[in-house]
Amino acid sequence: MTESLSLKEEIVKYKDNTFTSCVDEIAVEFPLTIFINQVEFATMVCSPENLDELVLGFLASEGVIRFRKEIKDMTIDRDQGFAYVELYKDDFINQQSFSKRFIGSCCGKSRQFYFQNDVRTAKTSMVTTTVTAAQCLSLMKRMQADSLVFQNTGGVHNAALCSTEELLVSRSDIGRHNALDKLYGYSLLNGIPVKDKILVFSGRISSEILTKAAKIGVGIVLSKSAPTDLAIRLAEDLNITAVGFIRGTSFNIYSKPERIIL
């Protein structure tokens, strides 16, 4: 069963010095607690759709698993807000790895802050994929047009996995990290190689988003918003092309510009 990402609420609207009653569409917020081998691992606040993809992508992103086949069983209890995951292995948690910051070098060029598990799971991109400027604009336009939930609520983030020519799959979530995890989970569930794919994203490219993209394995990230300075430095270290402010007929390339061509 797929639950709605939004619901109707009666509100009071102010406009032109007048209060009126009306019905507005509101994004749904859903807490999901993940148990691994009967041990509580994490609680996520998310949109209640594609939860199997979310859990799988999150666990892969956190370095708990690498492949779908490592999961023995997974059950989603929507009524209680629980996800139960059984792994074939028992020694899956080193709590320090998931909570302790680590100062290290990605590939010797600069010192950056990571979580310890990020050092193990973030991949330096080796892709040779190129995309034209016109395709960047087109892919962003398609992703935005595909998100009816955002158009109706303004309360979710959107992300899409694309080839240079088309949008392959898109996901929406109230959490920007969650939207990327759903794409990661989708690719793992369906055996889709991602190295030659492009990640199109609606939100700001922060260091965490850039690291998440590196974990997924893409080499090009397109966003309609801005990057942070640390995200740009990470993109250089991880050999990822970061493009921001894709709006109308223009955009800015912040790292590895050779992958964007005319």
Give me the pLDDT at residue 189, please.
95
Nearest C-alpha neighbor of 241 from the set 198, 179, 181, 192: 198
How many Å apart are CA 165 and CA 12, to the nearest integer? 43
For residue 58, the SS3 value is: helix
CB 101 within 8 A of CB 123: no
Give me the pLDDT at residue 151, please.
80
Q: For 18, how many CA atoms within 13 A lie in the half-sphere containing its CB?
A: 4
Give me the pLDDT at residue 115, please.
52
For the four alpha carbons of 244, 203, 157 and 75, in that order, the dihedral sign comes to positive
Give the predicted TM-score (pTM) of the model: 0.88
How many Å apart are CA 245 and CA 234, to the nearest integer? 18
Give me the pLDDT at residue 92, please.
65
Give me the pLDDT at residue 121, please.
73
Q: Which of 22, 46, 106, 107 is catalytic?
A: 107
CA–chain centroid gap for 59, Å, is: 13
Give me the pLDDT at residue 116, please.
53
DSSP output for 166-188: -EEEEEEESSHHHHHHHHHHHHH
Nearest C-alpha neighbor of 57 from the set 209, 182, 176, 157: 182
CB 259 within 8 A of CB 130: yes
CA–chain centroid gap for 151, Å, is: 19
Please list the rounded mean pLDDT of every run of 10 residues in the chain (262 residues). Answer: 76 95 93 94 93 96 92 96 94 56 38 53 88 98 88 88 96 93 96 94 93 95 96 95 96 98 94
- The span from the first CA to the last CA of the chain, in angstroms, equals 44
106 is catalytic: no
